[in-house]
Structure 1
Amino acid sequence: MAEIRGYIKETAPGLDGDLLEYVSGYFDDTSSDRSQEGLFDFLQPLLSEAGNTDAEIESLCERLAALTPAPKHAFGYGVIALDGPVVMSAYGAGGGEAGFGDRVGDIRHGQSTNGPKSTTVDQRKLRAAEKKLAEKNAKRGLYDPDAIPVWNPDVKPAIIVNQMKVSSGATNMSKDIKLENFDIAFAGKKILQNANLSLAHGRRYGLVGKNGVGKSTLLRAIAHEELRLPAHIRVLHVEQEIVGDDTLAMQSVLQADVERTSLLEEEKKLNSALSKMSTTPEDAETMSKRLKEVYAKLEDIEADKAESKASAILNGLGFTPEQQRAATRTFSGGWRMRLALARALFCKPDLLLADEVTNYLDFPAVVWLEKYFQAWPATLLVVSHDRSFLDAVSTDILHLHDGLLDYYRGNFSVFVGTKAERRRNQIREYEAQLQYRSHLQDFIDRWRYNAKRAAQAQSKIKLLEKLPPLNPPPKDDMEGIAGEGQDIFFRFPDPEKLSPPILRVAEIKFAYENTTRIILDGVSFDLQMDSKIAVVGPNGAGKSTLIKLMTNQVEPQKGIVNRHGRLRVALFSQHHVDQLDLGASSVQFLQHKFPGQQEEDYRRVLGRYGLTGTTALQPIGTLSGGQKSRAVFAWMAMMNPHVLILDEPTNHLDMDSIDALASALREFKGGIAIVSHDERFLDAVCNEVWVCDNGKLTRFEGKQGNQDGVVKQYKASLMIADV
C-alpha cells in the first residue's frame, strides 16, 4: 500500500490529503476493478481536478495495474472463484441471509439474465417506498442509532467544499466578490448546494438563519480558504479569542497590521546597516533609496497615527488606559474576544467576517460598534441574532435556509416585511393553482361519461396531465420572526408563591481577595416574585459579581443578603457550557440531574425546547451553541425555580428561539433578573432597568408616557451621552 501511495503522490503531488485517503481506500477493497481500464475510470475524474493530464493518468494506471493485478476469475468477468463449497441448505428458503427466512417489509433484488448489473426492481417505486418509510419513522419518532454522531473534542469535522474554479475575470483587482455554483458540507450534513455568493464592495451584509443551519460554517469556509476568493482580497475572521501572552493589549492591536509591522522592521534594519562603517558606497546608495520608499509607504498608511487609532478602537470597546497597557494573558476569554475584534477593526480588511461579535460586549460597546460599522469602508459579512444591531448596521440581508442563499436589500426590518409579503404571494399563487386544478377535475368528473361533453372532458384530462407537479410553498423557517406564528414554545412552570421578601440585599460591600479595588459598595435592592429586571452597565462594573451574590456563590465583606428559606434559584451562566457534560447526550444530562423518571419524560421536556428526535440523543459536544443553550433551559425548567437569573441568555440563540424565550419569560410567574445587551429582548421581558456602574446599583427612570420601552430609552441616553 505504501508503494501505491508513493506512485499516486509522485504523479499528483497537489492531491488533497482527504482525496489521497479516499483513493487509497479503493485498493483496500478486494472487489475493486484493478484492470487498467477500471483504474482509469476511477482515477481520471479525481486526478484531472488536481491538474494531471490524461497521459499522466494513463501511465499511472498502467503501473498500478501491474502492481495490483485484478482478482482471478474462474468463469469470466465478474464471477470470482469461490474459496470452498457453499452449503445452500444453510440459507433460508427465500434465498435470504443465513438462518433467516424472508422478513416482512424486505425489498428483495432479483437478478435478470441481462447481466450482473441489471435488476428487475422498479427503481422509481423503490425510492418512493424508502421515502414513505422514512416519513413514517419520522412521524413515529423513530431514529437510526448509526446516524447519531460521535463526539471527539480533539477532532473537528472537516468542511467539504465543491467549488468551480475562480474565473479569470476575478483578476482585475476588483474588491467585489462573486462565487458561483458551489457546495458546502460539514460533518456529513449538506449546508449549501449549487449556491451563489455575491458581495458588493462597501456593502454590509447580515447573515441570518436558524440555529445549526450552517452560518458559522460558511464564514469558516471563506476564512480558511476552503472557498477560494481572488488572491488580492484580504479577509479577516473574528471568531476565536487571541492567545494570551506577555504582549501588551495596545501592541497586540498594532501588530495585527502586518504591512506596518513589516515596514517598521525593514526601516530599523536599513538604518542599522547604514550606520555600519563596513557598508560600501554602492550599498549605502541602494539602501538609502529603499529607505526613502519605506518612509513614503509609512506616510501613505499614516503609520504615525496608528497608536491613536488603536487606542480609540480599544477605548470604544471598553478598554481603559490601564487595560490597554496590560498583558493579553491577564484578560479573560470575553476580553480576549474584544481584542480579536479590535485587531480586525484596526486592520480594515477588504472583507470582514464577524460571527456573533456582540456576544461579549456590553451596552456602551454595542452602541459604539454600531456607529463604527455604519462608517465601515469595506465589505462586512456579520452573523448576529440581535435584531436592533442588524437594523443599525446591515444594508443587505442574506437568508440561509434549505441549502440556499436568498438576497434581500435593506436592513433586517425591511427583510422581515419583504419576506412576509413574498410568502403571502407564494401562498396566494399556490391556492390559485389548487383552485384551478380542482375546477378542471370537477369538470372532468361531471362530464367525462357524457357523450356530448366527452371530447371536452378528454381535453381537460390532457391539460391536467401536462401541468407540472404542484407542491405547497416550503415551510418558512423565519415564520415566528415575521409574526405569523412559531414552532418553538419554551415554558417555565409556575412556582408556588413565597411570602416576601424572597431576596433582599442591604448595604453590601464586596472586593475580591488580594485586590484593592472595591467592586460593589453600599448596594441595596429587593427582588420579588413579580420582578422583571434588566441589569445593565459596562463590563467590569460588577454585574457578574452581583449575580454571584444573588446565587450564593460568594459572600459580601459587609452588609446582609437575606434569602427565603424555600427559595429556588436557577442560573443561566454566560459560560453555560461549563454547566454541561459534553460527552453525554441531553437526555443523559437530565437523567443525571433528575434521576428516577422515564426517558420519555426527559425527551418531552427537551422537545419543548426544540431538542427533538436524534438531537436529544447526540453528545452535547456535537450540538451547536444554540442547542446547548436549549439543553440548559430544559434543565432550569425541571428545577421549578422561584427566580430565574439569566446572564446573556440570547447568545447563540436564533431569532425564533429568542422570541420563544421572551414569551416564556413574560408568562413566568416568578422573579426574573437578566444581564443582556439585546435591547429588543430586554424590552420584551423587563419593566425596570438597574444600572451597575462605579460600584453602585441605581434604577434608571424612563420617561412616563414614552412609547419606547425603558431599555430602549436607556440605550438612547447612552447615544446622547456619547455625542
Structure 2
Amino acid sequence: MGTCSEYIKNTFPTIDEDLKQYVEGVLSNGADEFEDSEEVYEAIGEVLQEISNDKSEDDIRNICNDLLCMMKPDKKASNNGAMKVLNAPVHLGSMVDNLEATIDDVKSIWLIQRDETLKVDAKKLEKAEAKLQEKQDKRTKEVKTVTAPKLQTASASQVTSKKDSKLEAKGTNRTQDIRIENFDVAYGERVLLQGADICLAFGRRYGLVGRNGLGKSTLLRMISGAQLRIPSHISILHVEQEVIGDDTIAINSVLECDTVREELLKKEREISSAINNGSTDPQLNSELTEVYTQLQNIEADKAPAKASIILNGLGFTTEMQQNATKTFSGGWRMRLALARALFSRPDLLLLDEPTNMLDIKAIIWLENYLQNWPTTLLVVSHDRNFLDTVPTDILHLHSQRIDPYRGNYEQFEKTKNERLKNQQREYEAQMMQRQHVQEFIDRFRYNANRAALVQSKIKMLEKLPELKPIIKDTEVVIKLPDTEPLSPPILQLDEVMFRYNSERVIFSNVNIGATMESRICIVGDNGAGKTTLLKIIMGLLSPTGGMRHVHRNLKFGYFSQHHVDQLNMNVNSVELLQLEYPGKPVEEYRRQLGSFGISGDLALQVVSSLSGGQKSRVAFAAMCMGRPNFLVLDEPTNHLDIETIEALGKAIQKYTGGVILVSHDERLIRMVCNELWVCGNGSVRSIEGGFDAYRTIVEQELEAANQAK
C-alpha cells in the first residue's frame, strides 16, 4: 500500500489527510476482492473526482486502473472488466441443468458478488465533501482579493462617422491625417478617457503629457493594437519592447526593417543565381534591369550608411554594430528597437519614454534627429528639455479628456495657465452676477409691482450657461527624511582603481569626496562606469586599488535603475512596507506612502496594477523608510511625471543629507546639482562650469563625429 499512498499524494497534492486515509483504507480492505478497475472506480472514483477540478472522468478511471496494477502487479487490469482464461470449453446448457452443483463455475464467468466493506461510507463522504467545499471557497476568495487586479485589461470603444466608414470600405481614403473621435478607454472598471478626441496632422510632432496613471501608455497601446481605429493604409510602429536577441548582427537587424529593399535584394540574388547557372530565359535580363532600377529609385545603396548613422547616434560603436543582437543587454536592445523605428520611418511613430534608456549624448542626438522627422510623431515623455525641443504640439491628458495645444511644453504651460486664469475669472464673474440677480429676486419676489421683472430675472438665470469651478491638479509633494548632522570627513575616495576580473580598467586614479551638503551629479556615456562608481562609493564593490573612507554613521539610501522591477508585485503598497519594515503601526506605513503621493485606495492596490511612475514612488517610500542620511540615486526620474520630478527636485533641495545622483534629466540636474563628475575614458573628474560646460563638450563631440562622416 506504500506505493499506492505515494501515487495518490503525488497525483492529488491538495488532498486532505483524513480523506487520504479514507481512500487508503478502502483500497487496503478490498485489495484481494477487486477484480477490475471498474470496481476500484465504483469504490473511490466519486471521492477522487471531488478532490480534483482539473481531471475528467476518464482521467479518474485511468488513475483507478493504475492503482489496481499497483495492488495486483501480476493481474492485467482493464477498464472492460476482469479477464479469465478457461481451461476448456463451457457448455452453458448443462451448467444450467446442474446449477446447484456448478454455482461456483457460473459465478466465475458472469456473477461477481460485491463486498459490503467496499461501499463508501455516506457520513464519511459527506464530511469529506464539506471539507473540500470549504477549501474551494477559501481558495476562490483568496484569488479574488489578491490577483483580481492583475486580470484587468484595457478596453476601448469608439464611434466612427458614416463618411469615414464608407471611405474605408471603398478603399478610397488616402488622407495622411489621423482623426480618432469620440472614444472611451477604460482599465478594468476605471474609466481613463471618456468622449475624447485626437487629431494628428501629418508631419507634426505631438508630445502626450499628463500625470502618472492617467493612461498615456495605455492610449499608445490602444492605437498600435488597432483597438482604436485609424485608416488602414497608415503604417504604425510602437517602440515598446526590446529586440529579440539572436545571431543577427545589429546593423542587419536595422536594415531588415526596410522590407521593400529586402525583397528587391532577395529577387536580385535569385535572378543573378539563375543567370550564373546558365539559364537562357531572355525574360530574366529584363527583370534584373527592373530590379536594379527600383533599387536605385529607393537609394538602396545608401541604406547601410543611414542605418550606421542612426546606430552611432544612439551609442553603438562601429564594432558594436557588427555584434549579434543576443550579445546586448536589455537596455541596448531597446536602443536597437528605437534605431529600427527611426530607420523604417512609419506614417505614425509612437514612442513611450524614449529617453529612459539613453545617456545625455544620445538624448541630444535624438532631439536633433527628431526635429527633422518627416512623418507624424506621438511621444510620451517626462523629460522637460526633450518636450521643449522636439514637439510642435502638446496633447494634455487630464480629467478623462485630451486638450490640444500648439507649441512646445514651455508654450503649453503658459497657454494652459492663462486659460485656467481666464476660466476662473469667467466663473467668478458669473457667480457674482448670479448672486446679484438672486438677491434682486429674493428682495422683490413678493412685490406685485415688480412681478414681471422678477420673472424675467428668473428666466435669465435659467438661460445662463452653467460654468463649473476650475479643478486644479493637486500639487505633488515629496518629503525626504530629516537627518542629523555628521562631522567631516564624510566620504572620500583616494587613488581608487577598478577592473572586473582581468578585463580592461574601468577607471583609475580617482580622487573625489563628498559632504553632507553635496549635490553631485555623475554624467557620462552608457558603459563608462557610472553605476560601478556608485557601488564602490556605497561599499557594494571593493576597489581593485586605492582606498575608500566613509564616516562610521553614514547610512546610504540607494535607488537603483532596476529598483522598480525588484518590487514585490503580488502585494499592495502597505503590505510591501510591512514586509520590509515589520512591527510598525499601519498608520505609519500609510503616512510614509502618502508623503510620496501614494494615498487612499491607491495604497491598497496590488503593486502590479500601478503605473510605472506610481511604482517608482512606492520604491522611494520604501527606500526612505530606513531613514538614510546620504542618498545615492541611479536614474531616479525614469517613469516619473514632470510634476513629480519637480517635487523630487524641491525635496532634494530641502534635504539635510548628502546626495549623489546619476541622471539624464537636464532640468533636474540644473535644479539640484552644485557639482558635476564626468565618468569616461578610464577616469572620473570634476568639471568647472556645471552642466552647461558638459553639454557644450557633448555637442562639440557630436559635431566632430558628423563632420568625420
Q: Which category of TM-score, normalised to the shorter sequence, fits these structures?
A: 0.7 to 0.9
Please state how far the C-alpha of 1:561 moved relative to its aligned partner. Answer: 1.3
Which whole-Å CA distance do the structure 1 matches of 2:608 and 2:336 have between them?
26
1:491 pairs with one of 449, 469, 479: 479
The 5 Å alignment of 1:9-24 reads: none
The 5 Å alignment of 1:2-41 reads: none
Question: 2:121 maps to what in 1?
Answer: none
Please state how far the C-alpha of 1:490 moved relative to its aligned partner. Answer: 0.3
* Counterpart amino acid of residue 676 in structure 1: S
- Describe the SS at the equivalent of 1:519: strand
Which whole-Å CA distance do the structure 2 matches of 1:646 and 1:624 have between them?
20
**Alpha-carbon spacing, 1:720–1:149, altered in 2? closer, same or farther (3 Å):** farther
**Alpha-carbon spacing, 1:159–1:455, altered in 2? closer, same or farther (3 Å):** closer
The 5 Å alignment of 1:549-628 reads: 549-628=536-615
Which whole-Å CA distance do the structure 1 matches of 2:244 and 2:560 have between them?
23
Which whole-Å CA distance do the structure 2 matches of 1:455 and 1:210 have between them?
51
Which whole-Å CA distance do the structure 2 matches of 1:266 and 1:237 have between them?
29
The 5 Å alignment of 1:138-287 reads: 150=147, 157-164=153-160, 166-169=164-167, 171-277=172-278, 279=279, 281=280, 284-287=281-284
Question: 1:37 maps to what in 2?
Answer: none
The size of the alignment, in residue pairs, is: 557
Matched, 1:396 2:393: yes
- Checking the alignment, whether the CA contact within 8 Å between 2:156 and 2:183 is kept in structure 1 is no
* Counterpart amino acid of residue 359 in structure 1: N
**Alpha-carbon spacing, 1:570–1:152, altered in 2? closer, same or farther (3 Å):** same
Matched, 1:502 2:498: no
The 5 Å alignment of 1:17-416 reads: 150=147, 157-164=153-160, 166-169=164-167, 171-277=172-278, 279=279, 281=280, 284-416=281-413
Matched, 1:456 2:453: yes
**Alpha-carbon spacing, 1:217–1:713, altered in 2? closer, same or farther (3 Å):** same
Q: Could you list the per-position Cα deviations for residues 654-690 of structure 1 after superposition, in whole angstroms to 9, with x for gaps in the alignment? A: 1111111111010001100111111011111111111
Q: Could you list the per-position Cα deviations for residues 224-252 of structure 1 after superposition, in whole angstroms to 9, with x for gaps in the alignment? A: 22222222222111111111112111111
Please state how far the C-alpha of 1:341 moved relative to its aligned partner. Answer: 0.5
Which whole-Å CA distance do the structure 2 matches of 1:720 and 1:516 have between them?
30
- Checking the alignment, whether the CA contact within 8 Å between 2:146 and 2:570 is kept in structure 1 is no
> By percentage of residues, which structure has more helix?
2
* Counterpart amino acid of residue 504 in structure 1: Q
- Describe the SS at the equivalent of 1:609: coil
Which whole-Å CA distance do the structure 1 matches of 2:159 and 2:336 have between them?
33
Runs of at least 5 residues in structure 2 that lack an aligned partner in the other structure: 1-141, 704-709
- Please report the TM-score for the alignment, with normalisation by the length of structure 2: 0.75
Which whole-Å CA distance do the structure 2 matches of 1:469 and 1:312 have between them?
57
Q: Could you list the per-position Cα deviations for residues 574-609 of structure 1 after superposition, in whole angstroms to 9, with x for gaps in the alignment? A: 111243111111111111111111112111111121
- Checking the alignment, whether the CA contact within 8 Å between 1:148 and 1:614 is kept in structure 2 is no
Which whole-Å CA distance do the structure 2 matches of 1:156 and 1:309 have between them?
42
Q: Could you list the per-position Cα deviations for residues 161-211 of structure 1 after superposition, in whole angstroms to 9, with x for gaps in the alignment? A: 434274444634332212222222233332222222211111111111111
Q: Could you list the per-position Cα deviations for residues 77-105 of structure 1 after superposition, in whole angstroms to 9, with x for gaps in the alignment? A: xxxxxxxxxxxxxxxxxxxxxxxxxxxxx
Question: 2:531 maps to what in 1?
Answer: 544
Which whole-Å CA distance do the structure 1 matches of 2:591 and 2:143 have between them?
22
Which whole-Å CA distance do the structure 2 matches of 1:228 and 1:451 have between them?
62
Q: Could you list the per-position Cα deviations for residues 422-477 of structure 1 after superposition, in whole angstroms to 9, with x for gaps in the alignment? A: 1001000000100000001111222223444444334323433443444212x233
Please state how far the C-alpha of 1:157 moved relative to its aligned partner. Answer: 2.0
Question: 1:96 maps to what in 2?
Answer: none
- Checking the alignment, whether the CA contact within 8 Å between 1:203 and 1:380 is kept in structure 2 is yes
Matched, 1:663 2:650: yes
1:684 pairs with one of 667, 671, 680: 671
- Describe the SS at the equivalent of 1:662: helix
Question: 1:520 maps to what in 2?
Answer: 507
* Counterpart amino acid of residue 242 in structure 1: V
- Describe the SS at the equivalent of 2:365: helix
Which whole-Å CA distance do the structure 2 matches of 1:683 and 1:441 have between them?
53
1:647 pairs with one of 627, 634, 637: 634
2:432 pairs with one of 427, 430, 435: 435
Q: Tell me the percent identity.
A: 52
Which whole-Å CA distance do the structure 2 matches of 1:286 and 1:436 have between them?
85
- Checking the alignment, whether the CA contact within 8 Å between 2:156 and 2:228 is kept in structure 1 is no
- Describe the SS at the equivalent of 1:241: coil
* Counterpart amino acid of residue 695 in structure 2: K
- Describe the SS at the equivalent of 2:628: coil
- Describe the SS at the equivalent of 2:513: strand
CA RMSD of aligned residues (A): 2.1
Please state how far the C-alpha of 1:693 moved relative to its aligned partner. Answer: 0.8
- Checking the alignment, whether the CA contact within 8 Å between 1:502 and 1:528 is kept in structure 2 is yes
- Checking the alignment, whether the CA contact within 8 Å between 2:146 and 2:571 is kept in structure 1 is no
* Counterpart amino acid of residue 355 in structure 2: T
- Checking the alignment, whether the CA contact within 8 Å between 1:148 and 1:617 is kept in structure 2 is no
- Checking the alignment, whether the CA contact within 8 Å between 1:506 and 1:524 is kept in structure 2 is yes
* Counterpart amino acid of residue 411 in structure 1: N
- Checking the alignment, whether the CA contact within 8 Å between 2:385 and 2:666 is kept in structure 1 is yes
Q: Could you list the per-position Cα deviations for residues 455-505 of structure 1 after superposition, in whole angstroms to 9, with x for gaps in the alignment? A: 4334323433443444212x233xxxxxxxx52210111211111122211
**Alpha-carbon spacing, 1:653–1:148, altered in 2? closer, same or farther (3 Å):** farther
* Counterpart amino acid of residue 487 in structure 1: E
Which whole-Å CA distance do the structure 1 matches of 2:665 and 2:306 have between them?
28
- Describe the SS at the equivalent of 1:407: strand
- Describe the SS at the equivalent of 1:388: helix
Q: Could you list the per-position Cα deviations for residues 26-58 of structure 1 after superposition, in whole angstroms to 9, with x for gaps in the alignment? A: xxxxxxxxxxxxxxxxxxxxxxxxxxxxxxxxx
* Counterpart amino acid of residue 317 in structure 2: T
* Counterpart amino acid of residue 321 in structure 1: T
- Describe the SS at the equivalent of 1:540: coil
- Describe the SS at the equivalent of 1:579: coil
* Counterpart amino acid of residue 484 in structure 2: E
* Counterpart amino acid of residue 497 in structure 1: P
Q: Could you list the per-position Cα deviations for residues 108-149 of structure 1 after superposition, in whole angstroms to 9, with x for gaps in the alignment? A: xxxxxxxxxxxxxxxxxxxxxxxxxxxxxxxxxxxxx99978
- Describe the SS at the equivalent of 2:468: coil
